[in-house]
Amino acid sequence: MINFQTSPNEYKHWKLDIAGQVATLTMDVQEDETLAEGYKLKLNSYDLGVDIELNDAIQRLRFEHPEVAVVVITSLKPRIFCAGANIYMLGSSSHAFKVNFCKFTNETRCAIEDDSKHSGRRYLAALNGTASGGGYELAIACDEIYLVDDGNSAVSLPEVPLLGVLPGTGGLTRLVDKRKVRRDRADVFSTLAEGLKGKRAKEWGLIDDHFTTSKFQDRLDARVAELVAGGKGSAATGIKLNPLHDYKYVKLKLNREQRYADLTVLGPEGPQPTTPEEIQKLGDAYWPLQAYRELDDALLNLRVNEPEIGLVCLRTKGSIESVLQIDETLTANRDQWLIREIILHMARVLRRLDLTAKSFFAIVEPGSCFAGNLLELLLASDRSYMLMDSDATIAVSEMNAGALPMSNGLTRLQSRFLAEPEKLDDVFGEKKTFDTEEAEELGLITFAPDDLDWEDEIRVAIEERTSLSPDALTGMEASLRFAGPETMDTKIYGRLTAWQNWIFQRPNAVGPEGALTNYGKPTQAHFDFKRT
C-alpha cells in the first residue's frame, strides 16, 4: 500500500530550505530508502517515494510559503544533479506500475509549470553536476537551467540509446515544444548517451547558461537576486497543510469483487467563511481545500493501490446552495493569493481525475450536490445518470466558466459542447439550477432513467463497463476525453505517454533480451530489428 502523504520533517530524499523569498529544494537521495525491494537509489536516482516528496514540497511551497518568489532545485551529491528514474526499479516493476509511476512524475512536473505560470514563482534548475534522463526532465520542467562547467557535467537523455525506452517524463515533448530545440538537434541529443556539456548545450538551447565551478554559486546567487528583485514580492503568510487522517468529505467504498468503487464527495456543511481573512484563519480545514485534497489522495490511492477497480461511480451529497455559496466566495476573491491557490489546486485535482485510467460514471439523485465546482465531477465523467425526479437538480456557477480548465485549455463545458458552442449561453443564462428534464434537454447529462428503471439501469451499466477490456477502455477514454485543441500537457499525457507505454511492453525493452532488462548486467541486449 503506497502512501502519497508526507511532510518535510518526514522527507528522506529532499531538503526544503526557505530563506526569505528564496526556497532551495536539495536532492540528496538515500540509496537504501526505497519504496520496494531489489534496487538501490544510487547517484540521486529516484523511485516513486522520492517523487512523492517532491510533489509534497511543491504543494507546500504554494500554501505554506506564499512569500517565496524563487525556487532553486539542486543536489547535495558531488558531481551529480540527478540520474533520473532508477533503472533497476523500472526493470523490476510491473507494466502497470511503470505507467502509473510515469503519470505521477509527469503530474508533478506539470505542477511545477502550473506554479510558474499561474502563481509566478520562478523555478531554477541549478545543475551542479550531471543531469541525465529524468534528471534533465526535472530541469526542463523548470523555467531556467544552469549547468556547471567542470569538464565533466552534462545534460543527457540516454533512455533511447542505453535503455531502449523513451524519456518517460515529458522530456521529448518539452525539448521541441517548450524549449523549441530544433528537431534534428533534439534527435541527435536524444540518441547521445553521454549528452552534451556547457557550451554546446547552451548553443542548442538545452540549458540557459553554464558557469565554471568556481563561479557557479555566485552567478546563480546573482540570477536569483535578480529574479527576487524583479518579482512583486509577497507579504502573505502561509497556512499549514496538516496530514489528512480519516477523510471528512470524501467517502470511498471499494466493491472489489465487482471491480468498481463508489466515491462520494460531501458538500460543505454549516456556515462557511466568506472573506479571505476568515478563510486564512480556517486554513486547510476550509471545505474546498480539504475536500479536494482528500479527493486527490483518493484518486492516487485508487490508481496505484487498487488496480483492479475499473470504474468509479462519482456521487455527491449535500446542499447545492452551500456549494454555490462556496463558489461565490472563491470567485469574488480569486485574486487573493490563498483563494487563487485553492482554485488552482482544485483545477489540478480535476485534471488528475481526467487523466486517471479508470472509467467514471456520475450518479445524480435527490440529495446530490453536483453544483458549480462539483458539477465538474459530472462533466469530467465518461457518462452521467440522473434520476428523473423533480427533486434531483444540478447547477452551474461562475466556477464552471474558466477557473477549472482541462489539460487542453478548455473548460469541461466547452469540451462538451464543441459542436454547439451556443449551448454555453443557455447553460450560463439567468437560470442556474436545472432539474433532470432541463438537464437532459440542455445536454448536460447522458441518461435520465425514471424511478422504475433506475436501479436496474445503473446496475447493468456497471456490470457492462467492468466486463470490458481494461486496456481498450484506457485507450478509448484517452481518445474521447480530450477533443478539441491540444497543449503541451495533452501531448505529454496523450501522445508521449501512449508511445512510452507501448515501448514499455516491447520485448526489445522488457523481454529477457531487452535493453531495460539487461542494463548494468554482464549480458547484452539483443534487438528484434523489425521496425514497427
The interaxial angle of helices 320-332 and 287-305, nearest 10 deg, is 110
The 3-state DSSP composition of the chain as helix, strand, coil percent (nearest 5) reads 45, 15, 35
Check residue 437 for interaction with a copy of itself (CB under 8 A): no
Distance CA 488, CA 511 (A): 31
Check residue 239 for interaction with a copy of itself (CB under 8 A): no
Q: Of 437, 451, 461, whose CA–CA distance to 383 is shortest?
A: 461
Distance CA 416, CA 221 (A): 48
Binding mask 271-290 for a copy of itself (x = CB under 8 A): --------------------
Binding mask 337-366 for a copy of itself (x = CB under 8 A): --------------------xx--------
The amino acid present at 438, given as its one-letter code, is E
Binding mask 392-431 for a copy of itself (x = CB under 8 A): -----------------------xxxxx------------
**Least separation, in Å, of the C-beta of 52 and a copy of itself?**
20
Check residue 259 for interaction with a copy of itself (CB under 8 A): yes
Check residue 527 for interaction with a copy of itself (CB under 8 A): yes
Distance CA 229, CA 335 (A): 22
Distance CA 453, CA 387 (A): 9
**Least separation, in Å, of the C-beta of 510 and a copy of itself?**
10
Check residue 475 for interaction with a copy of itself (CB under 8 A): yes
Angle of CA points 270, 274, 280, to nearest 5°: 100
For residue 393, the cross-strand partners are 435
Binding mask 170-189 for a copy of itself (x = CB under 8 A): --xx-xxx-xxxxxxxxxx-
Q: Which is nearer to a copy of itself, 345 or 465 (CB)?
A: 465
Check residue 480 for interaction with a copy of itself (CB under 8 A): yes
- CB-CB neighbours of 80 under 10 Å: 23
123 φ/ψ sector (left φ>0, alpha ψ -120 to 50, else beta): beta
**Least separation, in Å, of the C-beta of 328 and a copy of itself?**
28
Alpha-carbon dihedral sign for residues 458, 459, 462, 468 = negative
**Least separation, in Å, of the C-beta of 481 and a copy of itself?**
6
With CB under 8 A as the contact rule, the residue among 69, 139, 387, 496 that binds a copy of itself is: 496
With CB under 8 A as the contact rule, the residue among 86, 397, 400, 508 that binds a copy of itself is: 508
With CB under 8 A as the contact rule, the residue among 15, 443, 453, 513 that binds a copy of itself is: 443
- Interface with a copy of itself by CB under 8 A: which range of 6-14, 306-314, 331-339, 396-404? 306-314
The amino acid present at 16, given as its one-letter code, is L
Using CB under 8 A, count the residues that bind a copy of itself.
91
Binding mask 86-125 for a copy of itself (x = CB under 8 A): ---------xx--xx-------------------------
Distance CA 406, CA 404 (A): 7
Over its C-alpha atoms, the chain yields an Rg (Å, rounded) of 24
In contact, 290 and 249? CB cutoff 8 Å:
yes
Q: Which is nearer to a copy of itself, 34 or 173 (CB)?
A: 173
Quick one: 490 exposed, middle or buried, by C-beta within 10 A (0-12, 13-18, 19+)? buried
Check residue 297 for interaction with a copy of itself (CB under 8 A): no
- CB-CB neighbours of 432 under 10 Å: 17
Q: Of 11, 203, 45, whose CA–CA distance to 136 is shortest?
A: 45
- Interface with a copy of itself by CB under 8 A: which range of 20-28, 106-114, 166-174, 397-405? 166-174
Q: Which is nearer to a copy of itself, 43 or 510 (CB)?
A: 510
- Interface with a copy of itself by CB under 8 A: which range of 10-18, 313-321, 433-441, 487-495? 487-495
Footprint (CB under 8 A) of a copy of itself, residues 123-142: none
H/E run at residue 156 = strand 155-156
Cell of 522: 554482464
Q: Which is nearer to a copy of itself, 160 or 326 (CB)?
A: 160
Footprint (CB under 8 A) of a copy of itself, residues 22-81: none
